Structure 1
Amino acid sequence: MSGHRSYFNLGLGACLAISLSAVAADGETVHVYNWYDYIGPNTLHDFKRDTGIQPVYDTFDSAEVLEGKLLTSRSGYDVVVASNFSLPTLIKAGALAPLPHARMPDFTNMDADLMAKLANNDPGNQYAVPYLWGTNGIGYNVDKVRAALGDKAPVDSWDLVFKEENLAKLGQCGVAMLDSPSEMLPVALHYLGLPPNSTNPEDYNKAEALLLKLRPHIAYFNSSKFISDLSNGNICVAVGWSGAMLEAKATAEQAGNGVKIAYSLPKEGAPVWFDTLVLLKDAPHPQQGLAFIDYLMRADVIAPVSNHLNYPNGNRNATALVAEATRNNPAVYPSAEALATLFTLQPLPPATERVRTRIWSKVKNGE
């Protein structure tokens, strides 16, 4: 999971990491480990200005890198941005410190519906608070999809990409899907009315049959290429992350190329994911780490991060501070009814993971 990382604005995160890695000769520091290019342009600077604590900021680009660093040794980090998908593994390994909710002024401002979803991976919400979150859905070229399927194209449904007669027509203008068995197979299972986190091999046989039937109409599986291809009109449909689709839309608008992109959260339900703030059990600077988490929970701090990255955050008081086009987009800030249809993904037993990997290899190769 967690490939939902921004692949956009590439350079900025690297510059921040370099400029802020120089530790102050004196004074307090906090060591932070976050996804590449996944923070506001001024957040770290403002944190130092407001608290006097110097952030030492490093980045990673895959959940495997993060888990490997946290599970094998004392990492030296205080605060880490971990996917909800990684939380069960990290909790089981004893890598995380429980958060002292009573000492966190903005904890009561976290959205209750989101916290209930997150509790599927962090029972009792003991160890993690949402940083940013999003959904997996369908990004599409409004005009090309209408041309292929007519005015009644089922853009609000997984039928758009999982019904063969629809996908066959859309295949003419290009369809892409994430290269991620842990994200795509649960969606296929859910579409078939099966548990998205199933451990039943027979369920996976059904998902495999569905995807192999669709495979001839899918241009490629890739977790970054679809963003630019959607924005410049090279493809007309992609299954991927909400923020990536909004980035493609914004890029097309800035280019003035006439490509109109929309993002749909299918009515049947879809994966919801969270990137969370956690404090490590062996954090060298736990108090400063907690101060950093507190800071990012503040509405006035996290709203500009949401605006920069096109992802919603967990503080319900921040919503009014988020750009109107983002907060009023029901595909990005779902209604309570839509949120109720969303499901979280779970780590699965090794035997099931092997089944998923084998199926994905077959699907990608079109065997």
Structure 2
Amino acid sequence: MMRLIQWVGGAIIIGILALVISHQLTAQKSKHQEKVYIYNWGEYIDPSLIKQFEKQTGIKVIYETFDSNEAMEAKIRNGGTHYDVAFPSEYTVEKLKKEHMLLPLDHQKLPHYKNLDSAYLNQDFDPQNRYSIPYFFGTVGILYNKDHYPNIKFDSWKDLTRPELKNDVLLVDGAREVIGLSLNRYGYSLNDTSETHLNRAQNFLDELKPQVKGVVGDEVTMMMTQHEANVAVVWSGVATPIVQEHPEFEYVIPKEGSNVWIDNIVIPKTAQNKEAAYRFIDFLLEARNSKQNTEWVGYATPNKAARAQLPAEIKNDTRFYPTQKQQRQLEVYRDLGSQHLSEYNERFLNFKMGLQ
């Protein structure tokens, strides 16, 4: 009997030790689990795709967000967290590349690179896509209530200065966007740095002031759909759900031209897990994953294979997927350099202060 008790007691102790060891091994495994650090814009990827990637690869995704290219650039520059993948816009790619802050990409490690549309590859800011992969793209245009303004087509930037629009126009809160549209109004490049051209653009903004209800951010959707304003200069991704859900709205790209922005995927030079970075990027390039991501985010995809799988009413909508003719009127933002960028920002700030 005593031996039985001793045996049972020993079995219990062994069981407890086994549980303790198992717990420690699990904790060590969790502690040493492979990780990939991602730095992206807010609400710019379907969260379920992150879970799917983790399940498929066993790699833990550490995901952080930023709200401006400048904030993202500063954090990468200052170190601290060594991000493996980041998502800068085109002019920031150009700047980071000049400052040797990006790793050259090995396209052989991205088998789904072939899914990308050549129309959005080999751009001037990154020839041969040596450092960046296009993620989403869009335009800057005019969103308006066509029931409220049935006789205005808004096919020109100068339509924004029409007196009947007094206190009814919202502008996106961005110096490059607002200074850019005012340059485009006269047929100038939205990357123009000529003092004469910028002064003329400033005069156009002075004409526009009486029509401007406000310079806004995310609240533009609420203000437009609740008819607090009837005209807005916005990014196409903001306009997409509004025109799809509210038939009284229309989105147009003015004939003088506008911006086509391209957000990109890069691997910072300080990345600690380059192989996981490649796996994450290629995962996003897979057609089914890109399609799912495009439908969740709402912006236009440069992934041709994914676009082919989208509903016809989305992929054939030239308001958000511009035709080749429209694309010839569009420009990407270039890195202006700190001096010219400061001038843009100062002019924009003076404009905003003049609205008060």
Structure 2 length-normalised TM:
0.87
- Map 1:1-367 onto structure 2 (within 5 A): 24-73=30-79, 75-116=81-122, 119-146=123-150, 150=151, 153-161=152-160, 164=161, 166=162, 168-171=163-166, 174-250=168-244, 253=246, 260-366=248-354
Deviations 1:176-229 (A, max 9, x none): 011211121112112212222112111110000111011111111112222211
Structure 2 residue identity aligned to 1:134: G
State the alpha-carbon separation in 2 of the partners of residues 318 and 175 from structure 1.
35
- The 1:351–1:31 alpha-carbon spacing in structure 2 relative to 1, beyond 3 Å, is closer
State the alpha-carbon separation in 2 of the partners of residues 169 and 286 from structure 1.
56
- The 1:103–1:349 alpha-carbon spacing in structure 2 relative to 1, beyond 3 Å, is closer
Unaligned segments of structure 2, at least 5 residues: 1-28
- State the shift of 1:334 in Å: 1.0
* DSSP 3-state at the match of 2:330: coil
Q: Give me the identity figure in percent.
A: 29
State the alpha-carbon separation in 1 of the partners of residues 140 and 199 from structure 2.
23
Count of aligned pairs between the two proteins: 327
- Residue aligning to 2:19: none
* DSSP 3-state at the match of 1:279: coil
Unaligned segments of structure 1, at least 5 residues: 1-22, 254-258
- Residue aligning to 1:10: none
Structure 2 residue identity aligned to 1:197: N
State the alpha-carbon separation in 2 of the partners of residues 362 and 59 from structure 1.
30
- The 1:281–1:354 alpha-carbon spacing in structure 2 relative to 1, beyond 3 Å, is closer
- Residue aligning to 2:20: none
State the alpha-carbon separation in 2 of the partners of residues 111 and 241 from structure 1.
21
| Residues 38 and 83 in structure 2, CA contact (< 8 A), matched pair in contact too | yes
| Residues 304 and 322 in structure 1, CA contact (< 8 A), matched pair in contact too | no
- State the shift of 1:272 in Å: 0.6
Superposed CA RMSD in Å reads 1.9
| Residues 43 and 297 in structure 2, CA contact (< 8 A), matched pair in contact too | no
State the alpha-carbon separation in 2 of the partners of residues 33 and 354 from structure 1.
26
Structure 2 residue identity aligned to 1:171: K
* DSSP 3-state at the match of 1:345: coil
State the alpha-carbon separation in 1 of the partners of residues 154 and 126 from structure 2.
33
State the alpha-carbon separation in 1 of the partners of residues 70 and 339 from structure 2.
18
* DSSP 3-state at the match of 2:266: strand
| Residues 187 and 256 in structure 2, CA contact (< 8 A), matched pair in contact too | no
Structure 2 residue identity aligned to 1:170: L
State the alpha-carbon separation in 1 of the partners of residues 158 and 282 from structure 2.
42
State the alpha-carbon separation in 2 of the partners of residues 24 and 318 from structure 1.
34
State the alpha-carbon separation in 2 of the partners of residues 135 and 186 from structure 1.
12
- State the shift of 1:154 in Å: 2.4
* DSSP 3-state at the match of 2:255: coil
- State the shift of 1:26 in Å: 4.3
- State the shift of 1:307 in Å: 0.8
- State the shift of 1:169 in Å: 1.0
Structure 1 residue identity aligned to 2:166: G
| Residues 76 and 82 in structure 2, CA contact (< 8 A), matched pair in contact too | no
Greater displacement, 281-290 / 24-33: 24-33
* DSSP 3-state at the match of 2:232: strand
